[in-house]
Structure 1
Amino acid sequence: MRKYILSFILWLVLLLPVLGQELAKPVGWFSRKSIKLGELVQYTLVHRHESSREVILPDSSFNFSPFELVQKSYFPTYTKAGISTDSAIYTLRTFETDSLQQLALPVYVLDGEDTLQVLANPVSVKLQQLVPQVQEPLVFKSETELVFVEERFNWPNLLLWTVAGVVFLSLIWFIFGQAIKTKYKLYRLRKDHVYFTSRYNSHVDRFVKSGYGQSLEKAVSLWKNYLTKLERSAINSFTTKEIVMFYNDNEEVNTALRLCDRAIYGNMAEADPETGKALHMLRRFAKSRYKHQHDLTRNAKTKR
């Protein structure tokens, strides 16, 4: 009998420390008492325990039914006087239609090779019913009127096409720019020469037919202005001697200009054959200078 009493006392002594180490429950609560369907709500879980124990809080793999986990936030363990506090905030939402949604989260305590699960007391949140009563059968409301939608300008598309256009034109200019400039210069040369020839012939015809001195002056002045633009030199401000020197004592230019000067400053009353011949010489010389400039412009790319 004494043997059994001693065995009972020994078992009781070994059990007392275990009973004194009963695990405390975690505490959990919702941030609001009521929510709407799909609305976010926060659930806070706090567990205080001995600092010697290792505790794990639920992570994203845990089933939060009837809620869905949206986000979780853990806080560092805080220890004071041998008591540690672990806490976390879970952002949840629910799409269940039950009027009362309940949740009780556990904590996991590591005890050697075993893991103990300790549940918090269940807490509830009320679901706000936005449609208190559903009419049966359901009545569908139709809206057949068209709604005016303001047209919006597609600025990104415009910017894209503008950049593409600039890149394309830049590429074209890089490849064909020199050829385009040459073509344009040749076009301007031809146009200016046609304009000069037309007006010059008009003045010459008027002078030959009527002997009108001003027509002769206008023809010579037009010739000088045309060569000024063609040669890119101030020929219209040169004297006859300077013009002849500019063209390397060209005999044709020298003869034609002196005959024209004699007719202009001699106040001839009528056109003489020599003056008419001089005007034709000036026209022929202008045409030769046009051809020279035309060839230089056309062959400019090849020379580069």
Structure 2
Amino acid sequence: MFIILLCFLQAVAAWGQQTPRPEGSFSRDTARLGELLQYTLVHHHPATQEVVLPPENYSFAPFELVRKDFFPTTTKAGISTDSAVYTLRSFEIEPVQQLALPVYVLGEQDTTVVFAAADAIVLQQLVKTVQEPLQVQADTNLATVEERFNWPELVLWIAAVATFLSLIGLIFGQAIRRKYKLYRLRKDHLYFASRYNSHEDRFKKTGAMQSLEKAVSLWKNYLTKLERSAINSFTTKEIVEYYENDEEVNTALRICDKAIYGNVQTETEGETNLALGMLRRFAKSRHKTQRELIKNAKNKR
């Protein structure tokens, strides 16, 4: 009995001095090209040994590593177990592909590498036979393509138009502004003349002071816009002074003031009618003056 026990202890000691071989195997025997498959590596070793399993940067050729899953080391009765599952895939076309992964046993002086027995998978051939030459199938049906808005082209057009308008404004800007000012000046004068003549004719026919007041007020408002000055808020004296004591303006405004505020009108001489005519001619004269100033603005520059 003692001899049997001694032999058993010697066998256990001898097994502890040797490096056991790891176990590695695929989860299935066949796989398709590029299909994921799992390879499990398990190593039982004495608890006194320090073992390292292959890391992510290990060459798994002819396979590629997709993911590596570790499991905690377990120890029972002095025997430790390390394991890991490697998720692999292959794009090689060999019909049979093998893999044998090692474990690294770290010693005091050196490191021992022990490989598991090779395990193989069979590549499933989806294409059994290949005809030579290859037959190309023609498809002449038009595919519907979603229409997309060409934003880069739009930005390019906007930039081109903006550049063109900037050049036009730089070269012809002054001439365009001058033409527009002359257009507005003529339009405003035609509008004034039409309404002023209407009030003047109504006053000549009816003698209504309201028509006279509207004509004078329209005249002042028109000159206010024409001269860009608050003439419609000036008194008669201030208006005369503004126009450097112009005789027609002075005479016409005083006659109108006398007719409006003093209710005095010499019908036989028609002073009020003459006054309205003088105001109309003066407004036309100021219109011509402003028009010439705008036309000559280019020469002054």
Give yes or no for TM over 0.5.
yes
Question: What is the letter of the counterpart of residue 31 of structure 2?
Answer: I
Q: Gaps spanning 5+ residues in structure 1: where?
A: 1-12, 299-304
Q: Post-superposition shift, 1:27?
A: 2.5
Q: Which residue of 1 aligns with 2:5?
A: none
**CA distance 1:22–1:260, shift in 2 (3 Å):** same
Map of 1:43 onto structure 2? 39
Match of 1:145 among 137, 140, 145: 140
Residue 268 of structure 1 deviates from its aligned partner by 6.0
Residue 93 of structure 1, CA deviation = 1.7
Give the distance between the partners of 1:160 and 1:280, measured in 2 at CA: 55
Aligned length: 269
Establish whether residue 120 from structure 1 lines up as the match of residue 111 from structure 2: no
1:78 aligns with 2:73: yes
SS at match of 1:112: coil
User: Which residue pairs with 2:152 in the alignment?
Assistant: 157
2:222 maps to which of 226, 230, 236:
226
Is 1:257 paired with 2:253? Answer: yes
> In structure 1, what is the Cα distance between the partners aligned to 2:124 and 2:11?
50
**TM-score, structure 2 length as denominator?**
0.61
Q: CA deviation at 1:37?
A: 0.8
Tell me, yes or no, if the aligned pair for 1:54 and 1:110 is still in contact at 8 Å.
Answer: yes
C-alpha displacement of 1:275:
4.4
Question: Please, what is the CA RMSD of the aligned residues?
Answer: 5.1
Q: Distance in 1 between matches of 2:60 and 2:38?
A: 12
CA 1:284 to 1:83, structure 2 compared with 1: closer, same or farther past 3 Å? Answer: farther
Matched, 1:213 2:204: yes
> Which residues of 2 match residues 3-152 of structure 1 at below 5 A?
17-60=13-56, 62-65=58-61, 67-73=62-68, 75=70, 78-81=73-76, 82-131=78-127, 133-152=128-147
Seen in structure 2, the aligned counterparts of structure 1 residues 249 and 16 have a Cα distance that, compared at 3 Å, is closer
Range with greater deviation from structure 2 (257-266 or 35-44): 257-266
Instruction: Report if aligned partners of 2:74, 2:82 keep a CA contact under 8 Å in 1.
Output: no
Distance 1:145 1:247 in 2: 90
1:48-72 deviation per Cα after TM superposition (whole angstroms, max 9, x unaligned): 323332323224554433x322334
Query: Corresponding residue for 1:9?
Result: none
Q: 5 Å matches for 1:267-278?
A: 275-278=276-279
- 1:39 Cα deviation (Å)? 1.8
Q: What is the Cα deviation at residue 140 of structure 1? A: 0.6
Q: Distance in 1 between matches of 2:240 and 2:291?
A: 14
Aligned letter for 1:282? A
Alpha-carbon deviation of 1:232? Answer: 7.0
Partners of 1:104 and 1:119 within 8 A in 2: yes
* TM-score calculated relative to the size of structure 1: 0.61
Question: Percent identity over the alignment?
Answer: 34
Q: Secondary structure at the match of 2:70?
A: strand
Gaps of 5+ in 2: 1-8, 206-210
Query: Partners of 2:47 and 2:239 in 1: how far apart?
Result: 109
Cα 1:93–1:260 change in 2 (3 A) is same
